[in-house]
Structure 1
Amino acid sequence: MKTQELEAASRKLVVIGGGVAGSTLARSLQFHADVTLIDPKEYFEIPWAKLRAMVEPSFGKRSVINHGEYLTNGRVVTSSAVNITETEVSTADGQLIPYDFLVIATGHTYPVPERRTERLNQFKAENQKINSAGSILIVGGGPTGVELAGEIAVDFPDKKVTLVHNGSRLLEFIGPKAANKTLHWLASKKVEVILEQRVNLDSVSEESKTYHTSEGEIINADCYFLCTGTPPGSAWLKETVLKKNLDSRGSLMVDENLRVKGRKNIFAIGDITDIPEIKQGFLAQKHAAVAAKNLKLLMTGGNESKMAIYKRGSAIAIVSLGRKDAVAQFPFTTISGRIPGWIKSGDLFVGSTRKGMGLDPHVVDD
């Protein structure tokens, strides 16, 4: 190994956040630096597979992966980061972890259990909740709400599914053509969609199982799932050295190289960045690839002028509709049905994601 590579391998790289961006980057640099991954949970979860795991709990066995499975040459700290100084990260369990380079990839806040077994049990509980319900209310018409409605409608066609969304159309993060195709597909599966209304969840009656909308409609449902957006996972940064690097939405401002603006050795990747693009997993993977390339360059003493530039993602999105269909928006066209479904919906990219993490795409545990 060259002297520069040996020096790089001794550099302390701390990655905060074990989602798509953070886990991908940590894995790719584990043999190029002294890597520490800080995450409040002991596992990496393929986020776009969680809705399938709710209707088919065994699916979670492949999509929920202990960090130690792919991070074989790094350290995992199962805790939350609570502070950052110029030289170290403090964690909720009292550790002080020094860094030479830091990557923040805390995405959006979404409470999940710490242990993998607990997460898998949570899928089983949600599946039982669906199984035992005759009618189901889904609150939120973004990709999560739409995909959950599709999963339930296909696997449980006899259940009454109602989706309520406060926007004027579904899937507001993509174009109206895709939204209209999605609405028609849901209608074909007998999913009732109510737009431009909110559900008052504060006055839910467990006994009567009735829900009131902002327009006075009454919806009867045995259970509900809240599928609205979650805030960026950046509230903890407001008291750190990066407090002035947050924009009004709580996103970290980055430059074209994915470094936090004004910082030489701190990067931000994934959903927490202020890059104006659709927040999607495949783009988080691209962030990780660019940041990894730049970190390798810097850790081996390379010229900053040769750093890779991140090119903003184009308007591409595929929203799964059950097991065989999907709606896809590409830069010049929008299509729905079995073709985009063949691309995504069957396996939801779980096999290819596992393979990209260096794992067997098919193996599941007992």
Structure 2
Amino acid sequence: MNTRMPHVLVVGGSFGGHAFAYKLISLLLEKKIPLPHITLLDPRRGLLNPVAIPRSLVEPRFAEITFARPGEFSREMIDNVDFVHAKASYMTDTHVFVKSPLYEDTLQLKYDFALVATGRHHPDYIMPSQPTKEEFLALMNFYVLKFRDANHILIVGGGAVGIEVAGELRYHYPSKSVTLVHPHAELPPEPVSEKFKRRTLEALKILGVDVQLNTRVKTETETGVITVDGREITADCVLWTSSRGKVVTEFMDKEIFENVLDSTGALKVNYHMNLSGGQKSFENLYAIGDVNDFPVIKTAGGAIHQAAVAAQNVARALAIQCGREDTWPERASIEPWGIHTAILIGKEMGVSQLMGLGDSAGYKESAAFFGDDMSTSKCYESLGIRKSTRLRTLEDSHDGSVKALEKTAASLSVRETTTSV
């Protein structure tokens, strides 16, 4: 009789991956179904709120609250998840290869269910990759000083991040010149209403941001940038927020997953969040958030919403394995929702288009959607994040990370020593 504990692998530990693991554990505990072995792979030693990065770039004290250390995770996560600080270097439909600078070998881990929540590649000032809170704070402090010492700051790209960074800069430094250039006639580029776009531009101008639309940058120079039409825009500091990074799926086997990878590298999913494309479907594999092709505006809240669907479907499969078919009679599914997004412009103005409310909310009402901490406490509360003065997971030290890697490999009995994948 096979009594091996099922293994659930989570690749990517930002909001989506963390929410999936937390929801899965909560569902199984509630229904008194045995927990599987859960491994979460992510280089970061903690959880970062990406929504709060624009303010963290200008306000060092604020950056302190946007990074939760492992010891502040929920009791359920600390007790039941192996947090391994490493990247998946190669993945098939049954195994993943894991590399870590803390461990000299490559580990091959077998899984029964897997969730991919790896997001996109971004510059560090948009989605910091620093593994520790100390390194993250050091990067934020670098930009705090950089912006403090600059007189004219140029933001290239009028997406949500560029708009929010420009707003924060003008709010915190009203005497500085802040220019936002955008290659199109309107901003932001997301499919929001014309009213949303118009009010966004109005709010930026109220704050004193110099917005230059239909302006495409050709190259950066020592004194600013040169546009494609030959104009020079001078600036002490240039910040690029225009690049929509590629999805992080390069570690996935291209032949095995050929039918579920679109032309951009995004993972095709169905309404159950399963990888699915053409005649090929992977019932035990899921993808959520920026990394999938689900046709919605990508937000942290949306990733958490998708995570709940994937978690219930994995919980259902585990229940069936235990003879509990009636626990969840049907698979959970989700359909693309309408426009549900908001942008904070400075501390006191925002623009929103929300389900059920449309784009009718005013500047202050939209700003209130973020609270005083750019949704940090709201998101952390939904994940059971709690404050603690003591770090309690293995991964709080170099030795702990090595032990976590060894524990995961030993429990699965699939450790192999290799030098490359």
State TM-score, norm by structure 2. Answer: 0.79
2:271 equivalent in structure 1: 256
Q: Which amino acid aligns with 1:21?
A: G
Q: Which amino acid aligns with 1:288?
A: A
Q: Which amino acid aligns with 1:169?
A: E
1:95 equivalent in structure 2: 107
Q: Deviations over 1:89-148 (max 9, x none)?
A: 112331212111011111111252222211111011111111011110001100000000
Within the candidate set 15, 37, 45, 1:20 is matched to: 15
1:355–1:361 contact (8 Å) kept in structure 2:
no
SS of the equivalent of 1:81 reads: strand
Q: Which amino acid aligns with 2:264?
A: R
Superposition deviation, residue 216 in structure 1: 2.1
Q: Which amino acid aligns with 1:125?
A: F
Within the candidate set 264, 284, 299, 2:303 is matched to: 284
Alignment of 1:19-38 (within 5 A): 19-30=14-25, 32-38=35-41
Deviates more, 1:26-35 or 1:149-158: 26-35
Deviates more, 1:240-249 or 1:285-294: 240-249
Q: Which amino acid aligns with 2:315?
A: K
Q: Deviations over 1:249-295 (max 9, x none)?
A: 22111111111111121111111111111001111010011111111
Superposition deviation, residue 175 in structure 1: 2.1
Q: Which amino acid aligns with 1:237?
A: M
Within the candidate set 187, 201, 212, 2:205 is matched to: 187
Alignment of 1:315-354 (within 5 A): 315-331=339-355, 332-344=358-370, 346-354=372-380
Alignment of 1:57-76 (within 5 A): 57-67=60-70, 69-70=72-73, 71-72=77-78, 73-76=80-83
Q: Which amino acid aligns with 2:238?
A: Y
Matched, 1:82 2:99: no
Alpha-carbon separation, structure 2, partners of 1:165 and 1:68: 41
Matched, 1:45 2:48: yes
Matched, 1:243 2:258: yes
Alpha-carbon separation, structure 1, partners of 2:87 and 2:286: 18
| CA distance 1:336–1:289, change in 2 (3 Å) | same
Structure with more contact order per residue of length (Cα contacts < 8 Å, sep ≥ 6) = 2
Percentage identity across paired residues of the two chains: 28
Q: Deviations over 1:1-57 (max 9, x none)?
A: xxxxxx89x321000011111111122234632110111222221110011111112
SS of the equivalent of 2:199 reads: helix
Superposition deviation, residue 210 in structure 1: 2.7
Q: Which amino acid aligns with 1:102?
A: A
Alpha-carbon separation, structure 1, partners of 2:271 and 2:149: 50
Alpha-carbon separation, structure 2, partners of 1:323 and 1:45: 20
Q: Which amino acid aligns with 1:139?
A: V
2:71–2:390 contact (8 Å) kept in structure 1:
no
1:213 equivalent in structure 2: 227
Superposition deviation, residue 168 in structure 1: 1.7
Q: Which amino acid aligns with 2:247?
A: P
2:411 equivalent in structure 1: none
Alignment of 1:161-172 (within 5 A): 161-172=178-189
Deviates more, 1:237-246 or 1:257-266: 237-246
1:3 equivalent in structure 2: none
Deviates more, 1:308-317 or 1:107-116: 107-116
1:4 equivalent in structure 2: none
Superposition deviation, residue 305 in structure 1: 6.3
Deviates more, 1:57-66 or 1:250-259: 57-66
RMSD, matched Cα: 2.2
Alpha-carbon separation, structure 1, partners of 2:63 and 2:255: 35
Q: Which amino acid aligns with 2:342?
A: I
Alpha-carbon separation, structure 2, partners of 1:138 and 1:191: 10
Q: Which amino acid aligns with 2:293?
A: D
2:39–2:81 contact (8 Å) kept in structure 1:
yes
SS of the equivalent of 1:252 reads: coil
Is there any run of 5+ residues in structure 2 with no aligned partner, and where?
Answer: 30-34, 101-105, 392-421
Alpha-carbon separation, structure 2, partners of 1:274 and 1:142: 19
Alpha-carbon separation, structure 2, partners of 1:133 and 1:218: 18
Alpha-carbon separation, structure 2, partners of 1:188 and 1:61: 29
Count of residue pairs the alignment pairs up: 354
Alpha-carbon separation, structure 1, partners of 2:370 and 2:158: 20
SS of the equivalent of 2:52 reads: helix
Matched, 1:121 2:147: no
State TM-score, norm by structure 1. Answer: 0.91
1:359 equivalent in structure 2: 385
1:40–1:78 contact (8 Å) kept in structure 2:
yes
1:317–1:329 contact (8 Å) kept in structure 2:
yes
2:92–2:252 contact (8 Å) kept in structure 1:
no
SS of the equivalent of 2:225 reads: strand
Q: Deviations over 1:311-358 (max 9, x none)?
A: 212101110011111001135334331111112152211111122222
| CA distance 1:115–1:221, change in 2 (3 Å) | same
1:108–1:271 contact (8 Å) kept in structure 2:
yes
Deviates more, 1:292-301 or 1:335-344: 335-344
1:178 equivalent in structure 2: 196
1:257–1:310 contact (8 Å) kept in structure 2:
yes
Superposition deviation, residue 361 in structure 1: 7.0
